[in-house]
């Protein structure tokens, strides 16, 4: 049983909720390790095609590292898969959506950046304020944000530690959709349903090629690289079932 997060599933969508609303869903080591277990269980569950990360309550997605817990003398421990079980989880194959329902600061923003999509309520607030407390965003924020919005805009956020609204986040390019307050999870579920209706193997292949292509500077090298996931897709049943279902004007029966 998990104490600091909850997991539910509906229609092939796993919803992972950080459950520490009394501290703005900030994370301490026990919560981090519970979230890692939840992410691993999602990856291993053949019936779950998309995951949604969100925070309990209406105020916070996650305020990041629990600084009060750390200041009390507790040891800082993070699982090998990183903050929230996501920021260093480079072997993840299934899509994850962040439903940001409030504050997403520091490590909370880094978790959101590690997700594949970000759906934000209009009251969401993003930022990497670590320099204000003598720290740095070393759970991927310093690496992911410049890749997602460009160097100058990223440094403008990183060096000042300023907060960014959901609307500005969409303008900068790291937010996919802004919805009314309280509606982030509902909208994320709708996005997840659309993704889950597609071929799971096609989705896994697409994620693999996009992420691995970003590891190389050359477009030509990225396109011409060999991807095992592409081989598996071409030899797999979905590549047969998809065109057949289209020709027969029916919904495809995808493999797991």
**Contact assessment for residue 126 and residue 134, using Cβ atoms and an 8 Å cutoff:** no
CA gap 127, 106 in Å, rounded: 6
Question: Of these residues, 3, 34, 58, 110, which one is catalytic?
Answer: 110
The one catalytic residue among 3, 36, 80, 130: 130
Is 58 marked active-site?
no
Instruction: Identify whether 34 is a catalytic site residue.
Output: no
- Which residues are catalytically annotated? 110, 130
């Amino acid at each position: 049983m998990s104490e600091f997060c909850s997991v539910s599933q509906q229609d092939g969508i796993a919803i992972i909720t950080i459950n520490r609303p009394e501290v703005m869903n900030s994370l301490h080591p026990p919560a981090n390790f519970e979230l890692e277990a939840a992410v691993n269980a999602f990856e291993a569950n053949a019936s779950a095609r998309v995951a949604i990360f969100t925070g309990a309550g209406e105020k916070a997605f996650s305020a990041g590292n629990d600084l009060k817990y750390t200041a009390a003398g507790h040891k800082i421990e993070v699982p090998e898969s990183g903050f929230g079980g996501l920021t260093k989880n480079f072997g993840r194959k299934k899509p994850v959506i962040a439903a940001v329902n409030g504050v997403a600061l520091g490590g909370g923003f880094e978790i959101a950046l590690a997700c594949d999509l970000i759906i934000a309520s209009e009251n969401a607030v993003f930022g990497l304020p670590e320099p204000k407390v003598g720290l740095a965003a070393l759970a991927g924020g310093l690496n992911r944000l410049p890749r997602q919005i460009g160097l100058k805009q990223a440094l403008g956020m990183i060096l000042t530690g300023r907060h960014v609204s959901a609307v500005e986040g969409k303008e900068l390019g790291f937010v996919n959709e802004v919805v009314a307050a309280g509606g982030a999870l509902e909208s994320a579920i709708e996005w997840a349903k659309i993704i889950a209706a597609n071929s799971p193997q096609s989705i896994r292949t697409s994620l693999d090629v996009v992420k691995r292509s970003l590891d190389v500077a050359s477009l030509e090298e990225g396109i011409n690289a060999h991807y095992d996931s592409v081989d598996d897709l071409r030899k797999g049943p979905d590549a047969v079932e998809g065109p057949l279902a289209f020709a027969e004007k029916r919904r495809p029966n995808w493999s797991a």
